[in-house]
Structures are given as C-alpha cells and as structure tokens.
Amino acid sequence: MKLLVVLSLVIVAIQGANVRHQRQFPDDFLFGAATAAYQIEGAWNEDGKGENIWDHMIHTNPNVIRDVTNGDVAADSYHNYKRDVEMMRELGLDAYRFSLSWPRILPTGMANEVNPAGIAFYNNYIDEMLKYNITPMVTLYHWDLPQKLQDLGGFANPLISDWFEDYARVVFENFGDRVKMFITFNEPREICYQGYGGDLKAPILNSTAMGTYLCGKHLLIAHAKAYHMYNKEFKPTQGGQCGITISVNWFGPATDSAEDQMAAEIKRQGEWGIYAHPIFSSEGGFPKEFSERVAEKSAQQGYRRSRLPEFTEEEKTLVKGASDFFGVNHYTARLVSATLYKEAVPVPSLLDDMDVGHNAPDDWATSASSWLVLAPNSIFNALKHLKERYNNPNFYVTENGWSTYYETGLMDDGRVTYYRASMESLLNCLDDGINLKGYMAWSLMDNFEWMQGYVERFGLYQVDFSDPARTRTPRKSAFVYKHIIKHRAVDYEYEPESLVMTIDEGH
C-alpha cells in the first residue's frame, strides 16, 4: 500500500519533470472561477427578495453555524457586482460561474409573481460580464430554496419538479438570450444527503432512512423536466446548453483485494452514482449493485418495499440522457476499505447501506477544512472513471479549490500548490482524450462557507468581512492562476513580483 503511494508519486513526479513548460491548454479551454448566490450576495431581504432556507434556518437557530455568522451581508456582491467583474478582468477569466437566488427572482417560490428588482440585478451582473467578453455560466439552484417551498416539503414533495420547471422557464425567458450555459442543480448529493438524509446543510432534516433517496429521485426528475423544456422551448432560438453539476470526489480501493474494490465501487455509487447513472449511463435508473443492496437491507429491516424509490420506466426514459454536459465539482479523494476505518453510523441510512470505511493517507497535505486533502492526480482518476463508464460526455470541472484560515492572509502557498497540482491533473485528462472543456476555480473570493461560516476561506481574493465595504484583495494564488490562464501552462518558477494587481490589455 505504502509502496503503491510512493510509486504513484514517483510516476507523477517523472511525468511532471518531462512535461513542464511543454504541455499546454488549448486556446478554447474555458478557464473561470465560481461562486454561489447565498455565499456572496448578501442583501438577504432587499428589493423584494423572499426568504430562503438558509435565512430561515440561521435566523431561527444561529448556533448551527460554527462562528455564529450568516449570509445576511456576506461579500455584499449585490452592491459590489461591478468590483466582482473587475476581479474577473484582473484574472483574465474566460468564464464566470455564479448562481441565481430562486427567491430573489420568485419571492413566493412559485412563478405567480416575478420580482423585477431580482431580474434587474442579474441582468446588470450578466451585462457587465458580457461587456468584457466573460462567458456567464449560470447555476439555477445552489442550495437556497425559497422557504415557502420548504414549508411544503421541498425536495421531499414530488411537485418540486413542476415548481422547478416553472422557475427555470422564468430564468430562460429572462436571461437565455445572453446566457448560453445553464446548470440546473449544484451537487445533488449535498442537497439530498447533507440536507435531507443528514443535518449538515439546510434544511437539516436528518431523515436518515429515506431522506436522501426521496430527494434524489425528485431532484433528478426536476432536472430532467427543466432540461427537456429548455430543449423544446428555448434551445432552437437561444442555442445554449443545459447540464447538471455533481460532486465527484475520487474513491479508490485501499488495497487490491476484491472486497476493497467492491467497497470502493459501492462508495462511488452511493456518493455520486445514484445521481450520475440515471442521467449519463446507457441503461438509466439507479446503479444496479447499490439498488440491490438497499432493497436487500430494506427487506431485512422489515420494510415492505425498498427505501430507494425506483424510477418508473417512463421516469427512467425522461431522465436518461437529459444533459448536454457533465459538470463535476471535484476537491479531494479517499481510499475505501470493506473492513477498516469504519465509523458508527445511523441505521438505517445511506452510510449504513454503503457500509464501508475510508481513509486519507497521512502524507496527503491538509487544508483548513477537515474533509479537504490534496490527493495525487485525483481529478484525472475521477474523470477517467466517468469517461469510461459514461461514454465520454463533455465535461466541465465546475468547482475545485483549497481552503485556508483567515490568519493565513495573502501568502497562500498551500492553495498555489493545490492549483498547480490540479492543472497537471487536468492536462493528464486532456492527454487521455477526456472531453474536458473547462475549469472553474472555487472560489473567486472568500465567502460564506455554509456551516463553517467565515472560518474556512476558499478565495483567490481575500474579503474583509469586518469592513462595511467588504474590500477584496488578491492573494498570491490569484496571480499564479492569472499567469496559468494567460500562458495556458503551468510555470513552477513563476513568483509574483508584488501583490499589486492590474488589468491586462484586452480584458
């Protein structure tokens, strides 16, 4: 095992040495950065915006957030959007991925009432990007459901697919003339497992037996309905693309044993296969091994039917193939074991259904986030697997990034190391023929890191949250990323001369 890690490190190092300064990203490769509405916008109750589930959860119970903060103001992008676009120009970004706040556009959640101020804000943001040739990539849902829809069950209510379709139509009608890349959902796993099956995200339902699966099924149908509606009603005139983003971390076997290989496969299926397989596989539906396992466990536990609600044939067909590209949020990896590293988990639950252990070797560098370690070549490992399993669709890495503490300040060498490693892994993907079209760094700037509040920082730009102006200052990593984008290659010798940022000609 140790030997394996050492060997793979040696191989990576040799590859790195040979190719340095040679391997390049194609000119049309889309380099960008990403954010999400609740994490940056603030203005939580301004100009007619409705309450979302994070507003509601935190205002009701502020202690769920590590530093007892909230996103009421966040980076105040609602008022600082021109500065945001200026930062994109400083970095020389080709694209910017951001999300729309559903209740800012539809305060009641339903499409009976469209908020003109919400539409105007996003129009301004989009137009400001387009002025400087920055391609907007718009996520419709990044976790901030209108509270009024949560009151009706949110993603546990099958009607969510109709409500989402109505919302999506308003989005396409208003922005589709200028936005050509839409992502319906950010990370079904985090929405469903963390929010419904667990208590790690709003609405902290902790409904362990079925929450994840119920939400997952309804979310996938919502995605598919919006996708087909876009295809039919908007694509012919607007000519854009519509996809979904799934969090795909890499899970390899801890040893070569058949048990560990099966354990890793079950982990991959339970973590992201249940969302990816119904859309991207040629057979459709939930992954077979996982679905059999839940059915079996459910029977043993006395349930009269599987806790995993299977798709009808009609639903399977609706969901299958319903995406123009595969958006991948990738951060880290784990080694999976059938017997070792297991923790106590609730029964029944997704975690108990998988029933595997996982581990990160000690020599993988650690970040400010307990879950985030630097695993060798893990973007490649994940995408190579997806390529083979799902017939090489077009991929975008829609998030990838590294956290530091506020105290680390501007000299974020850990983040620099991480981004450079990511670039090598991306180049390995391109060399392998993986249809990888772009990469979005998480994040353009520090923002409200959900349950971690403002403790863990992911920004290329530091944000001063004690300053009413929410001043943004570039970190060292911003200069390094800018250099990579400009030269379409990784230069390990590059060190910024100073941390004074300017806008290059043509941006």
CA distance 97 to 267: 29
CA dihedral 487, 402, 327, 440 (to 10 degrees): -30
Find the binder of ligand GBH among 41, 165, 187, 315 (CB under 6 A): 187
Q: Does 111 bind ligand GBH (CB under 6 A)?
A: no
Find the binder of ligand GBH among 399, 412, 424, 446 (CB under 6 A): 399
Q: Specify whether 399 is catalytic.
A: yes
Find the binder of ligand GBH among 212, 238, 247, 323 (CB under 6 A): 247
**80 vs 329, beta carbon nearer ligand GBH:** 329
Q: Specify the long-range contacts of residues 192-196, CB closer than 8 Å, at least 24 apart.
A: 192/155, 192/216, 192/219, 193/350, 195/143, 195/155, 196/154, 196/155, 196/156
- Minimum CB separation from ligand GBH for residue 357, in Å? 15
CA distance 133 to 150: 37
Size of site (CB under 6 A) for ligand GBH: 15
CA distance 366 to 487: 29
CA dihedral 339, 343, 345, 348 (to 10 degrees): 0
Nearest to 478 by CA among 456, 455, 454, 494: 494
What does each C-alpha distance from 271 to 130, 380, 403 come to in angstroms?
36, 18, 22
Q: Does 422 bind ligand GBH (CB under 6 A)?
A: no
Find the binder of ligand GBH among 186, 208, 377, 477 (CB under 6 A): 186
Q: Does 324 bind ligand GBH (CB under 6 A)?
A: no
- Minimum CB separation from ligand GBH for residue 398, in Å? 9
Q: Cα dihedral sign for 263, 265, 268, 271?
A: negative
The contact mask relative to ligand GBH for 191-230 (x = CB under 6 A, - = no) is: ---------x------------------------------
Nearest to 470 by CA among 158, 28, 75, 82: 75
Residues 8-47 that bind ligand GBH (CB under 6 A): 36, 39
The contact mask relative to ligand GBH for 281-320 (x = CB under 6 A, - = no) is: ----------------------------------------
Q: Specify whether 41 is catalytic.
A: no
Q: Is 160 helix (H, G, I), strand (E, B) or coil?
A: helix
359 is written with which tokens? Answer: 């581990």
Q: Does 366 bind ligand GBH (CB under 6 A)?
A: no
Beta carbons within 8 Å of 405's beta carbon, 6+ residues apart = 368, 455, 456, 457
Unique residue bearing structure tokens 């760094």: 441
Find the binder of ligand GBH among 257, 371, 388, 491 (CB under 6 A): 371
Of 40-48, 110-118, 182-190, 462-470, the segment contacting ligand GBH by CB under 6 A is: 182-190
Catalytic residue among 51, 128, 187, 456: 187
- Minimum CB separation from ligand GBH for residue 372, in Å? 7
Q: What are phi and psi of 87, to 5 degrees?
A: -65, -40
Q: Does 184 bind ligand GBH (CB under 6 A)?
A: no
Of 62-70, 171-179, 185-193, 417-425, the segment contacting ligand GBH by CB under 6 A is: 185-193
Residue 63 DSSP class = G
Q: Does 378 bind ligand GBH (CB under 6 A)?
A: no
- Minimum CB separation from ligand GBH for residue 329, in Å? 5
Find the binder of ligand GBH among 164, 331, 465, 481 (CB under 6 A): 331
CA distance 165 to 356: 37
| Exposure string for 51-71, b = 16+ CB within 10 A, e = fewer | bbbbbbbbeeeeebbeeebbb
- Minimum CB separation from ligand GBH for residue 403, in Å? 7
Beta bridge partners of 96: 33, 136
Find the binder of ligand GBH among 190, 260, 412, 446 (CB under 6 A): 190
Contact 285, 310 (CB under 8 A): yes
- Minimum CB separation from ligand GBH for residue 200, in Å? 4
Catalytic residue among 399, 424, 449, 456: 399
CA distance 396 to 441: 11
Q: Does 275 bind ligand GBH (CB under 6 A)?
A: no
Of 183-191, 252-260, 312-320, 412-420, the segment contacting ligand GBH by CB under 6 A is: 183-191
Q: Does 370 bind ligand GBH (CB under 6 A)?
A: yes
**36 vs 478, beta carbon nearer ligand GBH:** 36
Q: Does 373 bind ligand GBH (CB under 6 A)?
A: no
Contact 341, 198 (CB under 8 A): no
**331 vs 439, beta carbon nearer ligand GBH:** 331
**327 vs 348, beta carbon nearer ligand GBH:** 327
Q: Does 52 bind ligand GBH (CB under 6 A)?
A: no
**195 vs 278, beta carbon nearer ligand GBH:** 195
Residue 205 DSSP class = -
CA distance 467 to 483: 29
Residue 438 DSSP class = E
Residues 428-487 that bind ligand GBH (CB under 6 A): 442, 449, 458
Q: Kindly report whether the peptide bond that precedes residue 348 is cis, defined as omega within 30 degrees of 0.
A: yes
Catalytic positions, please?
A: 187, 399
Site residues (vs ligand GBH, CB under 6 A) = 36, 39, 186-187, 190, 200, 247, 329, 331, 370-371, 399, 442, 449, 458
